[in-house]
Amino acid sequence: MAFQILLNFFLAFIWMFLSNDYSSLAFFKGFFFGGLIIFTLRRFFEHRLYFYNVIALFKLIFIFLSELIKSNIAVLKVILSPKLTMKPGIFSLETELKKDWEIAILANLITLTPGTLVIEVSEDNKTLFIHAMDIGDVEQAKLDIKNTFEKAIKEVSR
């Protein structure tokens, strides 16, 4: 994926040299036509086209932001409720992600989701231990959310 991006930049610079025009407009033109060339030559690459990864990355950022807002509303409700009725606890979650950076992003996402906080990642990188603010009613829903997170992260790294 990084190779394709680098190739696209390289083609943009070649376009600038060919047209003898060193403005940013020429760079963007070259980048656009280089993208077209990469698109037509897509069957020679091992990975899929990098545009898909870029779109998946933007989706991930969007999930990050929306979860941050939701989690804030959830915490506000707990703090401002007249009685402390929450039931905290620590539960474990198996993860299928392998690479270190994927697990780091998953842990960050979980920390920013409503009412969960990662406490420890196990030695073998397979289990996350998560402190939840309300363990009873949320745990099943949590697992569903985590499946969507894991899917989004896998989509980026594929």
Binding site for another protein (CB under 8 A): 64, 68-69, 71-72, 75-76, 78-80, 84, 86-92, 107-108, 111-112, 115, 117-120, 122, 127, 129, 131, 133, 135-136
Residues 6+ apart with CB under 8 A from 113: 67, 70, 71, 142, 145, 149
| Least distance between another protein and beta carbon 138 (Å) | 12
| Least distance between another protein and beta carbon 63 (Å) | 13
- C-alpha torsion 122→124→126→130, nearest 10: 10
Question: At residue 47, what are phi and psi to the nearest 5 degrees?
Answer: -90, 170
Residue with Cβ nearer another protein (41 or 88): 88
Residue with Cβ nearer another protein (11 or 102): 102
CB 106 within 8 A of CB 128: yes
Q: How far apart are CA 93 and CA 116, in angstroms?
A: 12
Residue with Cβ nearer another protein (46 or 137): 137
Residue with Cβ nearer another protein (122 or 148): 122
| Least distance between another protein and beta carbon 104 (Å) | 8
Residues 6+ apart with CB under 8 A from 122: 128, 129
| Least distance between another protein and beta carbon 86 (Å) | 7
